[in-house]
Amino acid sequence: MQTAELSVGKQGRIVIPANLRHQLAIKPGSQLIAWVENGQLIMETKEQLWQSVHQACRQIPKEINLAQELINERRTAAKQENK
């Protein structure tokens, strides 16, 4: 694992060192998605995040219809609200 020390500028900007940018194929104009997980700042490129989501979706059995499950859940919730 390669580590680097980063500093936060006055406007909250963080500069990612060149060696890490090259390792992660981050180029000028790349967009990163950031979130906090277990007290840690996590950043991924949109492409990396899309690949993670795509891989997770592949593990869902084909007989499960997520869209229909969501519709059913929303209908059930609406019925509960109308009672």
Residue 81's pLDDT is: 87
Question: Residue ranges of the domains in the chain?
Answer: 32-82
- For residue 11, the 8-state DSSP code is T
Spatial neighbors of 49 by CB under 8 A, at least 6 apart, are: 33
What is the pLDDT, as a whole number, of residue 83? 75
Q: What is the pLDDT along the chain (83 residues), one digit of tens a residue?
A: 778 899 999 999 999 999 999 988 899 999 999 999 999 999 998 888 899 889 988 888 888 898 999 999 999 999 998 87
**Gap between the terminal Cα atoms of the chain:** 56
Given this model, what pLDDT does residue 57 score? 86
Q: Record the pTM.
A: 0.59
Q: Give just the sign of the alpha carbon dihedral 42, 34, 46, 61.
A: positive
